[in-house]
Amino acid sequence: VHQPLIAPSILSADFARLAQECAAVGAGPAGPGADWLHVDVMDAHFVPNLTLGLPVVQSLLKATDIPLDCHLMIDDPDRWAIGYAEAGAYNVTVHVEAAKDPIQLAKNLRAAGAKAGLSIKPNTPFEPYVDVLKHYDTLLVMSVEPGFGGQSFRPEVLDKARAARSLVDTGHLTLVVEIDGGINADTIEQAAEAGVDCFVAGSAVYGAEDPALAVAKLREQANQ
């Protein structure tokens, strides 16, 4: 029904070779390649890890044609998220637990030409944000506690994906339902069954011998 989107997370890539790592999941003999590149921005405050920020995203935008899906795990996204949209990120996702005015934030992101994404941590409920999500283009359901790659998938979050899917299918929301954390060959099918549209995968792609082949295989599994 929905064409699955595959978004490799460069969190598990080699940060000294980012341009090549982006190219490694592009279109090629294995298939059409990544739909989006997932870029995890962490500030060591909202999450206990530190990754990269706007200067690196600006360089990535010049280094790849794959649309960038920026996942901001940072405090005060009301202040910082707009820069990523203005730089040219395709989708900019902020955490509902960190945003002070998520509706205004979505409006600002869209006005700057980006899609607006809202993320919810595993223990954050979905229902209180249904009205807020009317202003958003993507919902990022976290299936691990944000902060690190390589953690185990938490299947209980799929209830939130199912709830979002049914509100989309009944026309109450217009959202890409995205999932992030622990997605691999063993878990992607249950996420697809729950109605997820977009699958982020870090270690399952960049930990593989052939990242492009890993993307192609995940796509095939999500399509079943």
The catalytic residue positions are 40, 180
CB of 107 to ligand DX5, least distance (A): 24
Give CA–CA dist 115/136, Å, rounded: 8
What are the Cα distances from residue 182, in Å, to 135, 156, 205? 28, 13, 11
Residue 122 interacts with ligand DX5 (CB under 6 A): yes or no: no
Residue 69 interacts with ligand DX5 (CB under 6 A): yes or no: no
| Tokens coding 160 | 């939130």
148 is in an annotated binding site: yes
Residues near 108 by beta carbon (within 8 Å), at least 6 away in sequence? 81, 82, 85
- Taking the least distance from each CB to Zn ion, the nearer of 28 and 150 is 150
What SS3 state is found at 65?
coil
Residue 41 interacts with ligand DX5 (CB under 6 A): yes or no: no
Phi/psi at 84 (5° precision): -70, -35
Binding ligand DX5 (rule: CB under 6 A), the pick from 4, 33, 117, 149 is 149
Longest dimension (CA), the chain: 45
Q: What amino acid is encoded at 31 in this protein?
A: G
Instruction: Give the nearest residue (CB) to ligand DX5.
Output: 202
**Beta-strand pair 176-180/138-142:** parallel
What SS3 state is found at 7?
strand
Residue 182 binds which of Zn ion, ligand DX5, none (CB < 5-8 A, kind-dependent): ligand DX5
What SS3 state is found at 53?
coil
Residue 77 interacts with ligand DX5 (CB under 6 A): yes or no: no
Binding ligand DX5 (rule: CB under 6 A), the pick from 181, 191, 208, 222 is 181
9 is in an annotated binding site: yes
Q: Where does this chain touch ligand DX5 (CB under 6 A) — which range of 21-29, 99-107, 120-128, 196-204?
A: 196-204
- Chain residues binding ligand DX5 by CB under 6 A are 9, 11-12, 38, 40, 71, 144, 146-151, 180-183, 200-204
Sequence ranges of the binding site for substrate: 9, 71, 147-150, 180-182, 202-203
